[in-house]
Amino acid sequence: MGDLPPGTYAELRRGRKPCPQCKAIIGAGRKRCPACDHGFGTASAEVEDEGPVRATVGSSRVVIPGTSSQGAGDLILLVPNGGAPADLTGDTIEAVRKWLRVVVERYTSTNELSRPALTVEALERWARPFHARESESQMRVKYVLRSLTQEEIVRWLT
């Protein structure tokens, strides 16, 4: 850990989060980044006591186009409430592509007036229970989701 600022980590794992300002990896419960003093839980994020974690659209987020409702404004979904709208049956690119299409179709079919836009982070959360933790198949699904660009998502959904 020699070159890392105090209170930061070398890799992203459960219980840790990246700082959006300096990209340092810090403990998930921290309110301020020890490396750059960025504040978490301020006006840029809206967290409900019971329900999904929502935030405003940021430049580092990959948002699934067409998934927000008109009343949501620029809110995005980071941590979904409940289980995935569809089962993920494999870890190949094709399996993840089919799953993404079904998830988006079911998510957007709800009549929620302020439905936030889906993000890749939300999809990752939903994908977790379908493969053993830290298994090769879970890592492949994470890799496929994290490597998606906005343009690829649009192609996948059309």
Say how many residues make up the chain. Answer: 158
Does 79 share its domain with 100?
Answer: yes
Does 59 share its domain with 80?
Answer: yes
pLDDT > 90 fraction of the chain, expressed in percent and rounded = 15
Does 35 share its domain with 86?
Answer: no
How confident is the model over 142-146, as a mean pLDDT?
Answer: 88
Between β-strands 8-9 and 25-27, what pairing exists: parallel, antiparallel or unpaired? Answer: antiparallel
| Structural domain that includes position 71 | 46-157
Euclidean distance between CA atoms 12 and 71, whole angstroms: 33
Contact criterion met (CB below 8 Å) for 77 and 52: yes
Between 152 and 99, name the one with better pLDDT. 99
Does 10 share its domain with 58?
Answer: no
Radius of gyration of the chain (CA): 16
Does 86 share its domain with 107?
Answer: yes
Task: Quickly state the pLDDT bin for 34 (edges 50, 70, 90).
Answer: confident
Contact criterion met (CB below 8 Å) for 143 and 96: no
Does 72 share its domain with 112?
Answer: yes
Does 141 share its domain with 78?
Answer: yes
Per-residue CA distances from 127 to 22, 35, 116, 141, 157 (Å): 28, 31, 19, 8, 18
Does 94 share its domain with 134?
Answer: yes
Does 72 share its domain with 28?
Answer: no
Does 20 share its domain with 58?
Answer: no
Total domains in the chain come to 2
Euclidean distance between CA atoms 118 and 99, whole angstroms: 14
The SS3 assignment for 40 reads: coil
Cα three-residue angle 31-54-30, rounded to 5 degrees:
10
Does 5 share its domain with 62?
Answer: no
Give residue 89's pLDDT: 92
